[in-house]
A and B are shown apart, each in its own frame.
Chain A
Amino acid sequence: MKELTYTVAAREALDEEMARDPRIFVMGEGIGKRGGNFNTTLGLYEKYGPTRLCDTPISERGFVGLAVGAAMSGSIPVIDFMMVDFILDAMGEIINQMAKMQYMSSGRLRMPMVLRGCIGIGGAAATHHSGSYYSIFSNIPGLRVIVPTTPADVKGMFRTALRGNDPVIMLEHKNLLSNKGPVPDGDYTTPFGQARIARAGKHVTAVGVALTVQKCLQAADQLAKQGIEVEVIDPRSTSPLDIATILQSVKKTGRLMIVDDAFEPCGFGAEVSAQVGTHGFDDLDAPIRRLSGAFAPTPYSPPLENEIVPSVERIAAALGELVKE
C-alpha cells in the first residue's frame, strides 16, 4: 500500500497497461511531449513515443470517430479530453457509432476504448469547463460510465476499462485530482457496477457521485457530532448501477438522499429514486430527497458558482431535516 494522488494513480494504471498491451494508444490535445494539461500522461511520451502518445488537432469529433474505427480494427484507444465538456462535439460518434457498434455487428466487433476527462463545478471554470454528463451517458445502452472517487478506485477501474471490451466513459472530477489516498500494490482491478460503502451509518443513506461523495462524508462528520449516523454510498459507476447496495442501505436506514452536481430532470438522482421507489418502497420511512446542481448553466463568479452546487453545509442541513421527517 502506498499513498498516491488521484492523477498519479490513474497515470500508473495507464502506464502499466500500456507496457503490458501494445494495442493501447492515447490521443488528445497536448498529451504528447507536454504530458497533458492535468499531467495525465506526464513522462509517457518518452517511454512510448509519438504513435502511442498522439497529439491531435482540435478535432474532437474527428479523433473520437477515428478512435471508434481504431477500436473496431483491433486497437485500444484512450481519448484524453482534458475537460470533458469538449466531448459534446463528438456526441454523434459516441452515441450512434461507439455505443451501437457491438450491437450493429451482432457482437462480432469489440469496442475496447476509453474516453476520459474532467467533470465538475469548481474553481471559477465557468460553463464550458464545468459540466457533469454522467446522467446523459448513462441513458445510452452500450456505454459504461464510471466516476471513480478515490485514487485506489481510479487505478483499479481504469485498469478494468483497459482490459475490457466495452466502450467506457471515465469521468474524473477536477477537484479530486490532487487528493491523496492509499493505493494497493500489485495488479488489482476494480469491477464496474459495485458500489462502495464509503461510511457506514444507520439513520440516513446519502448517495453521492464523484466529488459529492467527499462532500457527503464531510457532512456526515458534522452530523456525527449531533448523533446522526449517515451511511454514505459511492456508486463508482453510474452505468452499470449497483442498485442492490443502495437498496440494502435503505432497508437499514429507511431514508435516502441523492446528492450530485448535475441537473435533476431525468437525471441520476431521478433514476435512483425511481428504482428505490419501485423495489424498496416498503423500507422507506420518508420521501426520497434529491440535492442536485441547479437547473442552469454554470456561472463564473464565486458567489454565483457557490449558489448552484450542493455545499457541505447544505448537504448536512438537508440530511438533518430528512432524519427528522
Chain B
Amino acid sequence: MEKDTGLLLYRNMLLIRMSEERLAQSRQAGLVYGACHTYVGEEAVATGVCAHLTQADMVFSTHRGHGHALAKGVSPFEVMAELYGRETGCSQGRGGSMHLFKPEVGLMGTSGIVGPCILQAAGAGYTFKLLGKPNVAVAFFGDGASNNGAFHEGINLAAIYKLPVLFVCENNLYATEVPSAYASGNPDIYQRAIGYGIPGVKVDGNDAWAMFLAAGEAVRRARAGEGPTLIEAKTYRTRAHSEGMRDVGYRTQEEVEAWKARDPIKLLRDRLMGEHVADEDDIDRIHNEVGALVLDDHNHAASSPMPKGQDALRHVYFEGA
C-alpha cells in the first residue's frame, strides 16, 4: 500500500466519521431540525471511490449522503450548516440532511427519494458522451434502490449507450429496516450486472483499500469509453437508519457488534500499522488535524446566520445568471 494514498483514505474516512458523530450530538442538542441519516460504518465506500474523482466528475447520491458529499469535497462546515438550517449551508437551508448540493465540486445532489440518482448519473454520463468530456459520473445508492425500477432502467440505459458511469451499491443489508435477503430474489446484487451485459464486482465495502482498487478499475474503464460498471460494496450501517429512530426489532445486537469489530477505519489503521506503511505519529497527526477541523466547522456552522423567510420563494424558476 502506498503511504500517501493510504493516509489520504484514512483521513477522509475519519473526516466523515467525526463529522457524523458531531452531527449525531448536534441532533440531540436540537441543532438539527429534521432527519439525520448517518454514514457511520460505510465510510470506506465513498472514500475509496471519490479518491479517483476530479471536481469535474459528478456524484449523485441518496438519502444517506453526508459521506458522499464530504468525500466529494464539500466541507464539513457546509454540510453541518445545512443540517443546522443555516444560510451558509451547501443548499442555503433549502435541503437539510437529504438534499445536499454543491455542483461546484461535482456533488450533484443527495435525494429524499430512493432510486433517481441512478438515472441522473446515467444522464451525466450521457452529457459527457454528447459533449466529448473525459469525465465520469457516479451513483451511490443502497440495496433498497436495487429493487426499484430505476435500477433496472438506469443501468440498462447506461449499458446500451456505453456511458461512463459507476453504479455503486452500498449493500448495508437493510432497506431502512427491511432485510435485503428478504426483499431480493438474489441478494447478490452484483450478479445482476450479467443481465445488462456489464461487469459486476463484489467488494468488501469495509475495506477501504479494496474499494479504492475496485473503483480505480471501474473509473479507468469509464474514462476509456468501455462503459459502466456495477460495484456492490458489502457493508453495514452501525447507527440507526435515522438519528433518534428506534433501532430494534429488525437486527440483533450481536450482528451490530460483529460489524463494529470490522469497522472500516480500524481495519485500515491496523493495516497501515501492520504493514509499517504508517506509524502512531502519522495516525495521531491525522486525528488531531481532523478533530480540530470538525470542531471548528461545527462552531462556525452553529453560529452562522439563519436564512431570511422572504427567500423561501426564490429559485423556483431560473432567475438569471
Contact = CB atoms under 8 A, between A and B. Distances in A.
B161 interface: yes
A108 B316 contact: no
A66 B318 contact: no
B131 interface: yes
Interface string A97-116: 10001111111111100000
A68 B91 CA distance: 19
B116 A51 contact: no
Size bracket, chain B contacts: 35 or more
B113 A97 contact: yes
B123 A71 contact: yes
B315 A103 contact: yes
B122 A66 contact: yes
Interface stretch (B46-54, B95-103, B218-226, B270-278): B95-103
Interface centre among A67, A69, A109, A142 (most CB of B within 10 A): A69
B182 interface: no
Interface in A158-200: 164-166
Given A73-B108, A74-B127, A54 B314 contact: no
Contacts of A66: 119-120, 122-123, 126, 154, 157
A97 B99 contact: no
A66 B121 CA distance: 7
B288 to A, nearest CB: 34
Contacts of A72: 103, 108-109, 120, 123-124
A65 B150 contact: yes
B99 A104 contact: yes
Nearest to A92: B113
B119 A104 contact: no
Contacts of A166: 317-318
A59 B91 CA distance: 31
B109 A104 contact: yes
Interface string B116-138: 10111111111111110000010
B54 to A, nearest CB: 14
Contacts of B157: 56-57, 59, 62-63, 66
Contact of B119 (A56, A65, A142): A65
Interface residues of A, number: 46
Interface of B is mostly: helix
Contacts of B111: 97
Given A57-B160, A70-B127, A102 B315 contact: yes
A70 to B, nearest CB: 4
Contacts of B95: 104
A89 to B, nearest CB: 9
B123 A104 contact: no
Interface in A112-158: 141-142, 144
A141 to B, nearest CB: 5
A66 B125 CA distance: 9
Contacts of B161: 54
A81 interface: no
Contacts of A74: 127, 131
B204 to A, nearest CB: 29
A69 B91 contact: no
Given A65-B120, A97-B120, A142-B317, A75 B99 contact: no
Nearest to B113: A96
B101 A107 contact: no
A23 interface: yes
Contact of A108 (B60, B104, B119, B126): B104
Contacts of B127: 69-70, 73-75
Given A57-B157, A69-B124, A105 B103 contact: yes
B156 A57 contact: yes
B52 to A, nearest CB: 18
B119 A73 contact: no
Contact of A141 (B118, B130, B316): B316
B119 A93 contact: yes
A22 B94 CA distance: 33
Interface in B216-247: none
Interface in B56-101: 58, 60, 91-92, 94-95, 99, 101
Contact of A65 (B112, B129, B154): B154
Given A66-B120, A102-B317, 13 more contacts: A22-B131, A25-B130, A52-B130, A67-B123, A70-B126, A71-B123, A72-B109, A73-B128, A92-B116, A97-B111, A97-B116, A105-B315, A108-B101
28 contacts: A22-B131, A23-B130, A25-B130, A54-B161, A57-B153, A57-B156, A57-B160, A61-B153, A62-B153, A65-B118, A67-B123, A69-B120, A69-B127, A72-B109, A74-B131, A75-B131, A97-B113, A102-B315, A102-B318, A103-B94, A106-B91, A107-B314, A108-B103, A109-B101, A109-B108, A110-B318, A111-B318, A141-B316
Task: Give 4 nearest A-B pairs by CB, closest first.
Answer: A69-B123, A65-B119, A62-B153, A69-B120
